Structure 1
Amino acid sequence: MTDLKAFRRACYEAARQTGGELTEFRISDHPTPNFHQAIITYSHRNVAVVCARDAPLLALAVPRVIEFTPAREAGPLTFVDVPDLVAVLRTAPGFRLLTVTELVGPIDAAKWPRISQYDMRYRQPQTLGEGLFNYWD
């Protein structure tokens, strides 16, 4: 289980150091999605810092809605590279920030035992990002 307090601290610090404002936390307490989001707002865009619920893994993505009504989004996340934010989050204690290159690349199941073999066979994720951050039930 991810330490939500540590996630919040890391995101507040990242926003502060990069000139953004942390405007929202979207905590997932339902079966799907399997990640939390911290939305950092800049003058020209919003960026989601996504954090896996069951592992200390972070990624940067286009913000997504986690609400179930009227319809929930279920497709893969769009991962982004924000160099200043990457530089700060890369040093966040207790977390590993995954790069866009890693996330859009193929999954090596041997390196990622937290992704269930059932999900690998049934869901057939095409990328590491899809396997780690998803809306599967």
Structure 2
Amino acid sequence: MDGSRGIFRLGRGVTGFRSRDDLPLPDIDPKECRSAWHAAARSADGDVGDFTEREYPQGFHVATINDRHGTHIALFHAHYPLVAFVRDKLYVYRTEFLDPPAWATTLGGFGFVVLTAADLLSPLGEADGSALSQAEWRQIKHWRPETLGAALFNSWD
């Protein structure tokens, strides 16, 4: 799923939407996110600041690590093992994505894909959306996310 290795393929349900007739969305256990985040904090020689589980309609959990370089904020996708880094805690993300710190590679050992700013800021139209459901396409048409990151880490209701 890492766009830096080719066209980013959007899995069904990655927007957090489905129709009543669709199968339930996969869920990433917040405990798995927390375990990976604590390991990342050890790699960063830092401390876990907080971990906030998603609240509807957000499709992501928010976590912080404090190290000698400051505070790092990560978004853990609620349905797919995707992680994005941002500068500030916001309710909505469109173009606020950052490149991950070097220690974020630790998350890969836990099965997470850490996305780069280039991945997240790429135009949504460049991604392969062939697996998305009709319900997801309706939401995309309504909310009009311009970037891949805005579609993945959304707070649509």
Sort the TM-score into its range (normalised by shorter chain): 0.7 to 0.9
User: Could you list the runs of 5+ residues in structure 2 that have no partner in the other structure?
Assistant: 1-26
User: Could you list the runs of 5+ residues in structure 1 that have no partner in the other structure?
Assistant: 66-72
Q: Is the 8 A contact 1:32 1:136 kept in 2?
A: yes
Which residue of 76, 89, 92 corresponds with 2:94?
76
2:39 alignment partner AA: E
Q: CA deviation at 1:46?
A: 1.1
Query: 1 CA distance for matches of 2:123 and 2:151?
Result: 10
Q: CA deviation at 1:112?
A: 6.4
Q: How does 1:38-117 map to 2 (within 5 A)?
A: 38-64=63-89, 73-76=91-94, 78-89=96-107, 91-107=108-124, 108-110=127-129, 113=132, 116-117=136-137
Query: 2 CA distance for matches of 1:26 and 1:50?
Result: 10
Q: SS state of the match for residue 89, structure 2?
A: coil
Percent of residue pairs identical: 28
> What root-mean-square deviation, in Å, do the aligned CA atoms of Structure 1 and Structure 2 show?
2.1
- 2:8 is matched with which residue? none
Q: CA deviation at 1:77?
A: 5.8
Moved over 4 A (4+): none
Q: Is the 8 A contact 1:11 1:49 kept in 2?
A: no
Structure showing greater radius of gyration is 2
Is 1:136 matched up with 2:156? yes
Query: 1 CA distance for matches of 2:32 and 2:121?
Result: 26
Q: TM-score, normalised by structure 2?
A: 0.72
The Cα offsets for residues 28-80 of structure 1, whole Å up to 9 and x where unpaired, read as 1x322211011111234211121111211111112415xxxxxxx33536211
The Cα offsets for residues 73-111 of structure 1, whole Å up to 9 and x where unpaired, read as 33536211243233322x232222111111000122426
